[in-house]
Structure formats: C-alpha cells, structure tokens
Amino acid sequence: MQLYAKGVPIGDNQHPIQDAPPAVRALVSRLSENATTSSVISVTHDTTALEVSAVAFPILFRWVTTGDTQASVTATNFDHVIATNTVRRFVIPIEAINSGAGYSSVQGLNRENGLFQRYAWRTNGIGSALSAEYGKNNSY
C-alpha cells in the first residue's frame, strides 16, 4: 500500500479532527467563474489531494488520464458530482502503477506514485468552481 497523501490533522487530545482540511497550506488555488464549459486542469508534481468547491450550481468532475486527448466533461462521462455550495475533498487516485514508487526521486510525489495528473470540471449551470491542491510534504 502506497502512503502518499497527508492524513487528517490530530488535535492536542491525540484524536483525529474529522472533516478538517489538510493541516498545510495549499500548493495552488484556482477559481473558475461561470464554469459552464469544461476545463482541464493539470496538478503540480507534488499534488496528492484536492479540495473542490461548487458555488451556485453543481460541478461535474472527472479524472483525466494522461493519454486522453478529448478530456472534456459531459453529462455522461463524469466521475463525481459536487453538490451546490458544497466542498469535497479527494485523495488523487492512482492512474498507473509506477514500478519505481517508494524510491527516492527528484520528481514530486504525484508523478512518483503514478497519480492522475489532470482533472476536468464544469458547472451544471452558471456557477463557479474553486479548487485547492495539497501535497504530503508541503507545510506552512
């Protein structure tokens, strides 16, 4: 089992703080206003988790493979729906098993662990989509 995403924060009482965002600063934050058309986003080399927020309308969300040349999100090919005015957190899934995973590398954890490098989204109406990317090794 590969351990590549930062775990939930632990309080001073030594209990996990459930539903809390990672206890690190975001590597990248994005805002797409009026996101009615599909947008494909590439994550950083260190991104292992995402937080996605839908404002005003739901978001159709899709993991995009490296070889996918179309990459658009449609009403029939999405992986997740983020409900209106909701925040969802995702650990980026593994796209391909990297035989070199677990070894010291100059590449970031995303690439080292064979994680999806892109995602796509669009709102199901005139709304905004926001995201923040997190990595296991970034800190304040």
Q: Pull the structure tokens for residue 51.
A: 């937080």
Summarised one tens digit per residue, pLDDT across range 5-56 is: 888 888 899 998 888 877 788 999 999 998 899 999 999 999 999 999 999 9
Please report, in angstroms and rounded to a whole number, the separation of the first and last CA atoms in the chain: 27
Measured distance CA(37)–CA(3) in Å, rounded: 34
Give Cα 36 to chain centroid, integer Å.
Answer: 19
- Local confidence band at 140 (pLDDT 50, 70, 90 cut-offs): very low
Q: Are 103 and 86 in contact (CB under 8 A)?
A: no
Largest Cα–Cα separation, the chain: 49
Give Cα 113 to chain centroid, integer Å.
Answer: 15
- Residue 115 burial (CB count, 10 A): 25
- Local confidence band at 79 (pLDDT 50, 70, 90 cut-offs): very high
Summarised one tens digit per residue, pLDDT across range 118-130 is: 999 999 999 999 9
Measured distance CA(72)–CA(15) in Å, rounded: 41
Domains of the chain: residue spans and CATH: 28-134 (2.60.120)
Among residues 76, 16, 81, which one has the least CA distance to residue 54?
A: 81
Q: Pull the structure tokens for residue 66.
A: 């490296």
Give the three-state DSSP class for 6: coil
Whole-structure pTM value: 0.85
For 16, which DSSP code?
Answer: B
